[in-house]
Structure 1
Amino acid sequence: MANHVALPTSADLESNIRGLTDVFNAPGDIYGREFRLQEIKGCILYHIAYTDRERLQNSVLSPLQRATETRLEDVLPILDLKRVTDFHSAAEGMKQGKCAIMLDQSNEIMLADVSIQLTDHAAEPQNEQTIRGSHDGFVDDLATNSQLIRKRLTAADLVERNYVLGAKSSLSVSLLYLQEMADPNVVEQIAAKIAGISVDFVKSAGQITELLESSTLSFFPQTIFSERPDTTVSHLMDGRVVVLIDGNAMAVILPVTFFMFFQVPDDYVSRWWNGTFFRFLRYISMILTVALPSIYIAIVSNHFEVLPIDLVFSLKASLENIPFDPLIEALFMIIVLELLREAALRLPKSIASTLSIVGGLVIGTEVVNANLVSTTMIVVIALTAVASFSLPSQEMRLALRLVSIPVMFASAMLGFVGIALSFSLLFMHLTKLESFGVPYFYPFAPLEPRRLLPALIQLPVRMFGKKTSKQE
C-alpha cells in the first residue's frame, strides 16, 4: 500500500465510508456499525477476518455508546490509537486488525487495535516439518486457519469466498485467492465446482478434493495439501487458489503441476545450492521409486549380459535356491512393506516404532533364511522404500508406488523394452493431464525454456523475478 497514491479523506461521513470500503477488492469482508457520540453521527468499519468482535464490542462500541466526552482518546480504553487522514493508511491498519472510527464533520479516521490474538491456537506442523522455518501450522478451525493466512499476507486484493456444503452436515468451505495474481478463469472454474457440489453429508475433506480434481482416473494427485500457513501464502503469491475446509487442518492448493510436489519449505530457508542439491535428490528418489525394482527384474529375467561377470556370479548365487520369479519376489516384499507401514499408522505411537523395527528385522531375516526372497531383492526393495519416503508429498508418494507395479509387470515380460514402453506411456499421460486448464507437466509440456530452471532447481534470491502478472 505504500506505493499507492494517498487518497485523502473528507469531512463527509458517507463519503469516507464509501471511499474506505472501495479500497478493498472484497468489500463484502468490510462490516460497519453506526453510533452517536454526543449527538455526533459516527461509524465503525472493520474487516471481519482480522477483527476480534468481542474486543470490538467491549473496548470500542460500548465505551462510545456510554461516552460523555467527544475526544476519542478520552473515551476508548485502548493503548494503540492512531489518527490518519487518507484511506490507504486506514485500510492498512484494518488489515492489521484495527477498526476505523469515523465521525461526521471530521476528516480524521481513528484506528483502534482490536485484532485477533492467535498465539495459543496455532499448532506445529507434523508432516511438513522444517529446521529453520516457521513452526506455525493449521488447526481444525476454519476461521483460525484463515486468520493465520491473513496474518502473513496483508494484501488488499486477497479475496475470500465462503460456501456451506451438505444439506445435513453444513460444512463450511472458504476459497481464497489474490485477485491481481490469480487467473480469473481458473478461479471461476474452481468456484463453480465448489458451488456445484450437491451432497447430503460430507464425510471428509477427501470427498471434496476428489470432486475438485479434473481427472479422477489418473494415479497422480491434482491437488496439494499443506498444513503450513507460510507455504500456503507462497502458493497464493504464485497465483494459485487455496481451499480451506472446516474441521481439516490442511489447506488444499490448486491448480498444481507435477514439479510442485518436490518442493519443500527448507528449500527457501537454506542456501540456494543446498536447496538445489536436495531437490535433485528428490528427483532421483522419484526415479528410483518407479524404476529400481523394474530394472532389477528386467536384468535378472532377461538381460544378465549388461552386468559385469563377477556381479553375474554373485546374483546367480543369491538366486540359486529361490523357487519364485523375481516379479513374485518383488510383489511379495512390496506387500509386506505396505502391511508394516499400514500397521504402524493404525497402532498407538508407543508401539508403532517397535513394530516397524522388530517386524522389519524378523520378516527380512526369516524370508531370506527360508529361501523365499533373495538378499539382493531385499536390498532393492529397501532402497526403493527409502527413496519413496524421501518424497515430501504423501499423495505423490502413493501415486508413484502404484505406478511402479505395472512397470514391473512390463519389465518381467519385455525387459528393458517394457520399461521404455511404460515410461513412454507415462510421459504421454503426464503431458496430456491438466489441472483446471493448467498443463500438469508444465514447463516441459508445453515447453517454456525460461521456466525450466526455476522448476528444476532452487535459484538464488537475487534471480527471482517480481511477480507482476496473473498466473501463466
Structure 2
Amino acid sequence: MAVWRSGEDSPFSLSAAENTKHQSSDGGPSSLSAAENTKHQSSDGGSFSLSAAENTKQLIDLIGKSGDLKERTFSFEKAEGRLLYFETIVDSGRIEESILRPLSETDMQNVEEALTVLEREEIADPDKAIAALMQGKVLLFLEGRSICIACGVETFFLRSIMEPANEKVIRGSHDGFVESLNTNIALIRERIKHPGLMIEYVQLGQKTNTRVAIIYEKEIANPVLVEELRRRVNSIDMDMMFDPGFLEDMVEDSTLSPFPQVLQTERPDRAIANVMDGRILLFGDGSPTCIIMPVTFFALYQSPDDYNARTIPGSFYRLLRFISFFIAILLPGLYIAIVGYHFEVLPPDLILNIKGGVQTIPFPPLIEVLSMELAIEIIREAGVRLPTPIGQTIGIVGGIIISDAVVSAGFASRTTVIVVAVTAISSFVAPSAEMSTATRLIRFPLMILASLFGFYGLMFGIVALAIHLCKLESLGRPYFAPMAPFRLKDLLRDTFIKQSAWKLNTRPLDSRPIKEDAEFRSREWEKK
C-alpha cells in the first residue's frame, strides 16, 4: 500500500489518486494508440502536447534552468523524441543500454515492450512528471504521443552494510541499516518472510519529497495504533524532512519531556523483535535510523545483548542498568544533601574524612558539584565532536588532568571528584543514547532541590519525576507500563528479569497486539 501526501503549494508532490499507473484491462501497463493520444489535463490546467520538444520545454519552464538538467534529442529510423533528466542522479550507462539502444531497434508501436528498464511508468500529468524527474527518473518523450515514460535509471550512492558504531554487540548479527530506504526494507524482509508484513509509503517535505515508510505486521499490530501513527505522519506539513529528529518531533506525544518516547535503532534484529511484539517502525529515506513506536521507559534499558545471553547473566546486566539509572540521577543530589544538611546519616569515620576535605573548599556543595558536572559535560561534548582517536584522548587525559588540577588547587574535594566520576560513568550505561542524555539532564534539578531542602527536596524531586513518567504516553500508550498501570504479568515477563526464550510465549500488552500469545515455544524434548 502506498500513500502519497499531496502538497497544495508545491507542483512536485504526488497525491494518492495520482499515484496509480495506467492499467489495461488485463492488469498490465496500457499502450496508448494514436486515437487515444488526446490531451490529459493536469491539476493546474497544463497538459502534454504531441510534440516532444514542446513537452520538454514546458517542463524546463516549470522547473527553471538548472545546470544539471539535461535535455537529449534522439532520432532513429523508427523512433524519435527527447530525454529529460538530471545528470547528477541518473546512471548514464543505463540510459544508453536500457533506453537508447532498445529504441534504435524498435518502432513507435512497441516502445514499452522494447525498453529493458524494469521500473517504468506512463505519465500524462506534467506535475507528476516533474515529481518523477526529481526522484531520479529519466523522462522519455516520443514524437506524436502526449504522454511521457518515466524510466527508473537513478544512480545510488550507498555505503556498505556494517555494524552500527553506537550499538555494537558481543554476540548476534553484525549488520546495520544504511541510508537507502529500499536496502533497509530489504533487511527487514530478509528476516520476516511473511505476507503479513506491511509497508506503507508517505512522501513528506514539500521541497525535499522524502519517502517515509511505515512498517508493521498486520496480524500482530493493533490497527488502532497503526491508524493513529498514520494520522500523525500524514498531518506533517513542512518544507523539508531530512533527519529522524524531525520525524520524532512531529510524531511523539510530549516534545518538552527530556525522556524519549520513541526508540531509535540502527540494528535490524532489534527492529524486527519490536515488529513481532506488535510495534510499528518508521523509516525515512536518507537515514539509517529506525524509529519504533510505541515504547516504554523499560524498553529503553533493554539491549540486544540481553537476548543473546543466558538467563542469569542477562538478568544481572539488565538490573545493573536500572541501578545505574538511579545512581546517575540521585548520587550528586544525595552527596549535596548529606554534606549540606544530613551528616548524621554517615558513619563517624567517614564523616571525618569528608568534612576534612570539604572544610578547605571555598564554595558551597552545589557550586562545587555543579562546576565539576559541567566540566565533565564539556569534555564529553568535545570528545564527540573531535575525530575518534583525538576525542578518546581528550576524554581520558582531559578528565584526569582537570580532576587532579581542581583538587590540587582546592576548588573541589576528592570526594566530589569521585561522586562526579561515578555519576558520569553510570549515565552512559543506558543502551539508548537519548535515554543517556535524559539521565544526565535530570540530575541537575535534583541537585538544586537537594541544595535547597536536603533530603526533603530530593524526595519531592523523585515524586515529581515519578508523576511525570506516569503521565507520559507513547503513541497514546502508557510510557511507564507495566509499573503504571501496574501489570504483574508484564512485569514478570521481560522487564527487570530476562526470561528464557522458551518462556516468552506472550507479547507485551503495552503495544496492544491483536494476538497476545506469541508462537508457542516449548522444550518438547524434555517430555518423556
Shared fold (TM-score greater than 0.5)? yes
Amino acid at match of 2:410: N
2:479 is equivalent to residue 444 of structure 1: no
In the alignment, which of 257, 262, 272 is matched to residue 301 of structure 2?
A: 262
Deviation at 1:120, TM superposition (A): 8.5
The answer on 1:305 being equivalent to 2:344 is: yes
Superposed displacement of residue 462, structure 1 = 2.2
CA displacement at 1:204 relative to structure 2: 2.2
- Is residue 2:500 matched to residue 1:460? yes
1:231 corresponds, among 247, 270, 289, to 270
1:191 Cα deviation (Å)? 0.7
The aligned runs of 1:9-158 (5 Å cut-off) are 121-158=160-197
Report the residue type matching 1:177 in the other structure.
Y
Structure 1 unaligned spans of 5+: 1-27, 36-53, 63-118
Give the aligned partner of residue 340 of structure 1.
Answer: 379
Aligned equivalents of 1:436, 1:199: Cα separation in 2: 21
- Compared with structure 1, are the counterparts of its residues 367 and 399 closer, same or farther at alpha carbon in structure 2 (3 Å cutoff)? same
- 5+ residue gaps, structure 2, are 1-19, 31-93, 103-157, 517-528
Q: Which amino acid aligns with 1:357?
A: I
What amino acid is the match of 1:282? R
User: Aligned with 2:171: secondary structure?
Assistant: coil
TM-score by length of 2: 0.66
Aligned to 2:132: none
Aligned counterpart, 1:210? 249
Deviation at 1:366, TM superposition (A): 0.5
Residue of structure 1 equivalent to 2:218: 179
**CA deviation string 1:423-457 (max 9, x = no partner):** 11111111111112210110111111111112111
- Note the alpha carbon deviations across 1:388-415, whole angstroms, 9 max, x for none: 1111111111111111111111111111
> Deviation per CA, 1:101-152, whole angstroms, max 9, x where unpaired?
xxxxxxxxxxxxxxxxxx9842212111111110010001111001001101
The letter of the residue matching 1:275 is G
Partner of 1:327: 366
Cα deviation, residue 34, structure 1:
8.4
AA aligned opposite 2:502: R
**C-alpha distance in 1 between matches for 2:505 and 2:264:** 26
Q: Is the 8 A contact 2:219 2:515 kept in 1?
A: no
Q: CA-atom RMSD, angstroms?
A: 2.4
Amino acid of the structure 2 residue aligned with 1:253:
I
1:190 alignment partner AA:
L
Report if the CA contact (8 A) 1:238-1:471 is conserved: no
Runs of 4+ in 1 over 3 A off after TM superposition: 31-35, 466-469
Is the contact between residue 325 and residue 427 of structure 2 (CA under 8 Å) also seen in structure 1? yes
1:376 is aligned to 415
Q: 1:387 to 1:404 in 2, by over 3 A?
A: same
Cα 1:304–1:471, aligned 2, differ >3 Å: closer, same or farther?
farther
Amino acid aligned to 1:233? I
Residues 136-190 of structure 1, C-alpha deviation per residue, up to 9 Å, x if partnerless?
1000111100100110111111111001111111111100001111111111111
1:192 maps to 2:236: no
Structure 1 distance, partners of 2:515, 2:215, is 15
The alignment partner of 1:456 has SS state of coil
Question: 2 CA distance for matches of 1:208 and 1:466?
Answer: 31
Is residue 300–residue 326 contact of structure 1 (8 Å, CA) maintained in 2?
Answer: yes
Q: How does 1:290-439 map to 2 (within 5 A)?
A: 290-439=329-478
Q: 1:305 to 1:349 in 2, by over 3 A?
A: same
SS state of the match for residue 135, structure 1?
coil
Amino acid at match of 2:500: P
> 1:470 Cα shift?
2.0
SS at match of 1:311: helix
- Helix, strand or coil at the partner of 1:391: coil
State the secondary structure of the residue aligned to 1:174: strand
CA contact (8 A) 1:121 1:144 kept: no
Counterparts in 2 of 1:150-169, with a 5 A limit? 150-169=189-208
Give, in whole Å, the separation in 1 of the partners of 2:258 and 2:279.
22
Distance 1:335 1:404 in 2: 12
Letter aligned with residue 315 of structure 2: T
Matched to 2:444, the amino acid is: I
Corresponding pairs, count: 366
Structure-1 residue corresponding to 2:316: 277
- How far apart, CA to CA, are the structure 2 residues paired with 1:204 and 1:465? 36
Residue aligning to 1:287: 326
Shift of 1:202: 2.2
Which residue type is aligned with residue 339 of structure 2? Answer: V
- Give the distance between the partners of 1:121 and 1:366, measured in 2 at CA: 45
Q: 1:367 to 1:200 in 2, by over 3 A?
A: same
Post-superposition CA distance 1:306-359 (Å, at most 9, x none): 011110000011112100111111110111111111111111123112211221
For residue 252 of structure 1, give the secondary structure of its aligned residue in structure 2.
Answer: strand
Per-residue deviation, 1:471: 7.2
Cα distance, 1:471–1:309 mapped onto 2, change above 3 Å = farther
Secondary structure of the 2:495 match is helix
Task: Find the counterpart in structure 2 of residue 108 from structure 1.
Answer: none
Task: Give the Cα separation in 2 of the matches to 1:336 and 1:438.
Answer: 38
Output the CA distance in 2 between the equivalents of 1:427 and 1:346.
Answer: 34
Following superposition, the deviation at residue 222 of structure 1 comes to 0.4
AA matched with 1:460: S
Which amino acid is 1:354 matched to? T
Q: Does 2:514 correspond to 1:470?
A: yes
Q: Would the alpha carbon gap of residues 33 and 151 (structure 1) be closer, same or farther in structure 2, given more than 3 Å must change?
A: farther
Identity, % of aligned positions: 42
